[in-house]
Structures are given as structure tokens and as C-alpha cells.
């Protein structure tokens, strides 16, 4: 890897592109007019090459199966750090939020997924239904404003399937405290009162005015997307009907309050009863019984892109094995194909990683896993496909070891991983900056891009 090579190639490209960009703009803008551009509607006609290079912080939108921003594709190299709000809520740990954004952005990462919920727990955001801790809300404000400083966009998740930070169990507990006759945590999805609690939380977060920036969350381009829930499952109904109904109502609810931002569900990606021919791709037979149904769920109106998680170590076998890598490849290929053929939307591999506590683990294996995922994303990018990016689980700054469940990646301690991440960021950034969405992927630039992206010229 020749680090110094990048800016020179980039300048060279800029020169070539700027010389013919202007003449192409009108022609391509005309073609563009025929395509339907989803939120937001961008004014393609007035752009020039130089405008695109400008630092405009616009809302991320979607065109067909790709993300777009400033009239260019937006392929993602990003990460998860779920505890940012909690750390920002205390002066003694707030600096870690800045640190993680700073490190990730120095490696070229552009998207972070984090929690915009903490229900009824220690340092809760929502102390009880519709009752908020203003100090914790200010902490979330800080996270959003700090992300922007480092040019990182956020996927904000709005609730948890699991008990950490409250989750559906906490909503059920609140319901019981209010005298409701609830028998299962899955009543979260079906009971009208619990639905109204959740909807009220969504409304409060989306309408929040950031105390650092004065920008309302629902107007803030720093927010890349809303996620309905982290890893929703509804084991009490393997048909998937209960969860489907909940997704329909909640996707509509989010869109009604905030028509500008993209919305995703937060699913892990298991195939369900609606697609018996796809069940073979599931990691195990249990996966089809958890009440989720990848294709059907993502066909809901108002869901803009698909999410997929990948944990061979907890789904296939705890012992690290070559089969984990082949599982990851086929899991990714299957979902990219779904997103292209059946869904017509981008798919983000929004959680993947490996625990250092797994038997057979070593850091070489982790690098192999990450490289495999990045390669599959690039292969899709190359075709203008639906594979829109990936988010590592999970990036920690130094000195947060007490939070590590084994999956933490500390860049300063992992030079080889950092190099892999940087290379992926560089490739995607180059691709994003060179390819206008007006550019049909077969345009002249493509050959040049392929050379750069696939023959290690960086």
C-alpha cells in the first residue's frame, strides 16, 4: 500500500473529470430527470464538478438501490459504538465520544450506528413513558453535534429487542406498572398501549431540538437514518404476522413525523415463511422461527433500505472455522441478490465482527473476516449493486476495556486492522467522489475506477 499515492491519483482524476464534466452535465441531467429520486429531491441540474467537491452537508437520500448525497453515490464504510449517549452524559467519560469519532474519521469512516434509547435503566434517557432526563438528552445532542464535526453520519436506533438499555422488556414492565395484563415481552409489538409508548418515544426524539446546534433532529443531515429497533424478534409468532404489523405501523409513524430521513428496521436478516426457497441460506433452522422474515419485512412501505447482521460465531458455531468465512460470503451474496431482485433497495451489513473470546480466535482471523466483508461490498459496488456498505461491530477508543464483550476493535492497538479499514474507506471514498449518480456505471470513468479499485493501485 502506497499511502502517498492516493492524493496524486485523486488530483489526476479531478483534472480529467473537470475537463469534460461540464459538457456532460446537461446531457446526464436530462437522463436523470426520468428517474424517480427518493427523499431528498436533489437539484441535479445546478451542480458542477466543483460544487460536488464542496463541503455540503446534505441529507442522504436514495436512488434505486443506491444511497446518494450531493448527487453522488454514498457507499459506506462505518462502525458501531452503541454507548455514546451514556458516555456523553458524564463529564468524566464525554471525551471518549470525541475520541472515537476522531479515530474513526481518521480512518475514513463516515457512518456510525448508535443507540438513541436507554429506557428505565441507569442514566436512562426515558425514565418512564414520556418522561425524559434532560441531561441525558443533552448528551445525545452532544453525540449528534460531535459526529458532524468529524463528518460522521449516524444511524440512530430507537429501541432494543434485548434487555440491555431497557428494551421491549422495560416497555412491558411499564405496562404492568400501569395495570395492564401483559404475559409476554412480545406484547411490546401488539398491545396498543405499549405501541403508543414507543410511538411517543419516536416522536419525542425526532422532534428534539439539539441544544448544541439548534437543529431539530428530523431536519439534521447528520442523521443518516432512523432504525426502528435493534434486532427485533418476535418468537411468540413464527408466522411473522405480529412483527410485520408492527413494522408497518411504525415505519408509517416515523415517515409521517419525518419524511426526510431514510428508515430501516434493524433486522438481523433471517429468512422466514414467505420465502421457503431462501431458508437454505439461514445459519441454522432456529433462525426461521424467530418471527422475522427478511424479504417480507423489507417490502413494507416506508422502509428505505435493508439491514443484515452477521455473527457466524453465535449462529453457526462458537469455534472459529473456515466455514464461518464461507457462511459470511453466501449470507452477503444472498441478501445483495434479494435487495436487487425483490426489494430494489440498498442493503447495509450493519453489524459484523468476531469475539476475541471465541475458541480458535486470533487477530489474523479477524482481519480475514473483515477483508472478506469489504471485498463482497466492493464487488457489489463495482456493479453499481445493492451492497451499500458495512458497519464493524464494534469500535472502541482506548481505556474503555470494561465495556468490551470481546468484539471491541481498538484501532490504536490494531495496526493491521486499521490498514484494512483505511484501504476500504479510501476505495469507497474515491468511488463516491468520482462517480456522479448521473454517471451510468458503464461510463468512461468506470475503467479507470476498476483499475484503481481492484488492482491495488492505492
Ligand X SMILES: *[C@@H]1O[C@H](CO)[C@@H](O)[C@H](O)[C@H]1NC(C)=O
Rule CB under 6 A: which residues touch ligand X? 31, 181, 183, 213-214, 320, 329, 360, 362, 364-365, 372, 375-376, 379, 440, 442
Angle of helix 363-382 relative to helix 415-434, nearest 10 degrees, comes to 10
Q: Which is nearer to ligand X, 143 or 155 (CB)?
A: 143
Min CB(83)–ligand X separation in Å: 26
Min CB(227)–ligand X separation in Å: 25
Please tell me the distance from the alpha carbon of residue 358 to that of residue 370, in angstroms, as a whole number. Answer: 16
Residue 68 C-alpha cell reads as: 446518494
Q: Pick from 226, 219, 358, 336: which is nearest to 281 by CA?
A: 336
Residue 327 to residues 232, 284, 358, 442: CA-CA distances in angstroms? 22, 11, 17, 31
Query: Which of helix, strand or coil describes residue 23?
Result: helix
Can 231 be counted among the known catalytic residues?
yes
- Pairing mode, if any, of strands 126-128 and 131-132? antiparallel
Q: Which is nearer to ligand X, 77 or 297 (CB)?
A: 77
Min CB(300)–ligand X separation in Å: 27
Query: Which of helix, strand or coil describes residue 126?
Result: strand
Q: CB-hemisphere CA count at 13 Å for 53?
A: 12
441-443-448 Cα angle (round to 5): 95
Query: Would you say the C-alpha torsion 172, 198, 307, 153 has a positive or negative sign?
Result: negative
Q: Which residue has 430507537 as its cell numbers?
A: 158
Min CB(35)–ligand X separation in Å: 7
Min CB(117)–ligand X separation in Å: 25
User: Quick check: bond before 394 cis, omega within 30?
Assistant: yes
Active-site entry in 231, 264, 268, 340: 231
Min CB(169)–ligand X separation in Å: 18
Q: Which is nearer to ligand X, 289 or 379 (CB)?
A: 379
Q: Which is nearer to ligand X, 214 or 402 (CB)?
A: 214
Q: Which is nearer to ligand X, 285 or 442 (CB)?
A: 442
Q: Exposed/middle/buried for 302, CB within 10 Å: 0-12, 13-18, 19+?
A: middle
Q: Exposed/middle/buried for 241, CB within 10 Å: 0-12, 13-18, 19+?
A: middle
Min CB(183)–ligand X separation in Å: 5
Q: Exposed/middle/buried for 308, CB within 10 Å: 0-12, 13-18, 19+?
A: buried
Can 56 be counted among the known catalytic residues?
no
Please tell me the distance from the alpha carbon of residue 456 to that of residue 9, in angstroms, as a whole number. Answer: 12
Q: Which is nearer to ligand X, 364 or 402 (CB)?
A: 364
- Catalytically active residues are 231, 351
Amino acid at each position: 500500500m502506497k499511502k502517498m499515492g492516493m492524493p496524486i491519483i485523486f488530483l489526476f482524476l479531478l483534472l480529467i473529470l473537470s475537463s469534460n464534466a461540464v459538457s456532460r452535465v446537461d446531457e446526464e441531467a436530462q437522463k436523470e430527470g426520468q428517474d424517480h429520486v427518493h427523499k431528498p429531491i436533489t437539484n441535479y441540474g445546478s451542480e458542477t464538478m466543483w460544487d460536488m467537491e464542496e463541503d455540503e452537508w446534505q441529507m442522504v437520500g436514495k436512488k434505486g438501490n443506491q444511497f446518494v448525497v450531493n448527487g453522488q453515490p454514498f457507499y459506506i464504510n462505518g462502525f458501531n459504538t452503541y454507548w455514546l449517549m451514556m458516555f456523553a452524559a458524564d463529564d468524566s467519560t464525554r471525551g471518549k465520544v470525541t475520541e472515537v469519532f476522531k479515530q474513526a474519521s481518521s480512518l475514513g469512516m463516515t457512518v456510525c450506528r448508535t443507540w438513541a434509547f436507554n429506557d428505565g435503566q441507569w442514566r436512562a434517557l426515558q425514565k418512564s413513558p414520556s418522561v425524559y432526563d434532560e441531561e441525558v438528552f443533552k448528551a445525545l445532542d452532544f453525540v449528534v453535534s460531535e459526529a458532524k464535526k468529524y463528518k460522521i453520519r449516524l444511524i440512530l436506533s430507537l429501541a432494543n429487542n434485548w434487555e440491555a438499555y431497557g428494551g421491549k422488556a422495560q416497555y412491558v414492565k411499564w405496562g404492568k406498572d400501569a395495570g395492564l395484563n401483559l404475559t409476554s415481552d412480545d406484547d411490546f409489538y401488539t398491545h396498543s398501549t405499549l405501541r403508543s409508548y414507543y410511538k411517543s418515544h419516536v416522536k419525542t426524539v425526532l422532534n428534539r431540538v439539539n441544544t448544541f446546534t439548534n437543529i431539530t433532529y428530523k431536519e439534521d443531515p447528520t442523521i443518516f437514518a432512523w432504525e426502528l429497533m435493534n434486532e427485533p424478534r418476535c418468537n411468540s409468532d413464527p408466522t411473522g404476522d405480529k412483527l410485520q404489523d408492527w413494522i408497518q405501523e411504525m415505519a408509517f409513524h416515523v415517515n409521517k413525523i419525518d419524511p426526510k430521513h431514510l428508515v430501516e428496521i434493524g433486522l438481523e436478516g433471517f429468512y422466514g415463511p414467505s420465502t421457503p426457497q431462501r431458508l437454505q441460506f439461514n445459519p441454522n433452522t432456529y433462525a426461521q422461527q424467530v418471527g422475522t422474515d427478511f424479504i417480507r419485512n423489507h417490502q413494507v412501505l416506508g422502509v428505505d433500505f435493508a439491514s443484515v447482521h452477521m455473527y457466524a460465531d453465535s449462529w453457526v458455531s462458537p469455534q472459529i472455522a473456515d466455514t464461518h468465512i464461507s457462511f459470511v460470503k453466501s449470507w452477503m451474496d444472498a441478501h445483495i441478490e434479494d435487495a436487487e431482485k425483490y426489494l430494489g433497495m440498498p442493503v447495509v451489513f450493519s453489524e459484523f465482527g468476531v469475539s476475541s473470546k471465541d475458541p480458535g480466535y486470533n487477530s489474523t482471523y479477524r482481519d480475514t473476516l473483515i477483508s472478506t466483508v469489504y471485498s463482497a461490498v466492493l464487488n457489489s459496488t463495482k456493479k453499481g449493486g445493492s451492497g451499500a456498505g458495512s458497519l464493524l461491530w464494534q469500535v472502541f477508543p482506548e481505556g474503555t476495556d470494561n465495556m468490551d464483550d470481546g468484539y471491541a476493535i481498538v484501532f490504536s492497538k490494531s495496526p493491521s486492522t486499521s490498514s484494512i479499514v483505511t484501504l476500504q474507506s479510501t476505495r469507497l471514498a474515491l468511488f463516491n467522489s468520482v462517480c456522479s449518480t448521473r454517471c451510468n456505471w458503464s461510463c468512461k470513468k468506470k475503467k479507470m475506477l476498476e483499475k484503481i479499485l481492484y488492482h491495488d493501485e492505492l
